[in-house]
Amino acid sequence: METTLIILKPDAVQRGVVGRVVTRFEEKGLQIVGMKLMQIPRATAERHYAPHAGKPFYDGLLAFMTSSPVVVMAVRGVGAIAIARNLMGATFGSKAAPGTIRGDFGVSNAFNLIHGSDSTEAAHKELGLFFAPGELVPWTRMIEGWVYDLSSGTAE
């Protein structure tokens, strides 16, 4: 099982699509183990986007991500990182396939609604930026056997 960070960005919150986006993760079979509405402090945004420091879009990105509340979510599942990234779609809404979050809700090449960790290492780091120890709540879903084939005793 993997746990990954998802951020529903200011444009998703302002446009009122948070519930519809969260539903997609749940309907796919991923388990929410942490979720909160927050205003990202500038220092946290700077740490999160440090790999982009010095790029032409960096200052605008920080201004955007700190301009309005976001919803941060920790989702868990077998292959959660790849599954989440497939659900999100291509980075730019104008190029994202229909059926993906960005393809269905986005047209902008700047405001792209959602962030998801792109690797196990990034997920671990990013989850630590947005969730304090003890804020993630691992819990047993009664439907686990209906989400995964557990015939071997573990989720496939």
What residues act catalytically?
115
Residue in the block written with tokens 């446009």: 15
Distance CA 124, CA 131 (A): 11
CB-neighbour burial class of residue 4 (10 A; exposed 0-12, middle 13-18, buried 19+):
buried
CB-neighbour burial class of residue 55 (10 A; exposed 0-12, middle 13-18, buried 19+):
exposed
With contact defined as beta carbons under 8 Å apart, do 45 and 66 qualify?
A: yes
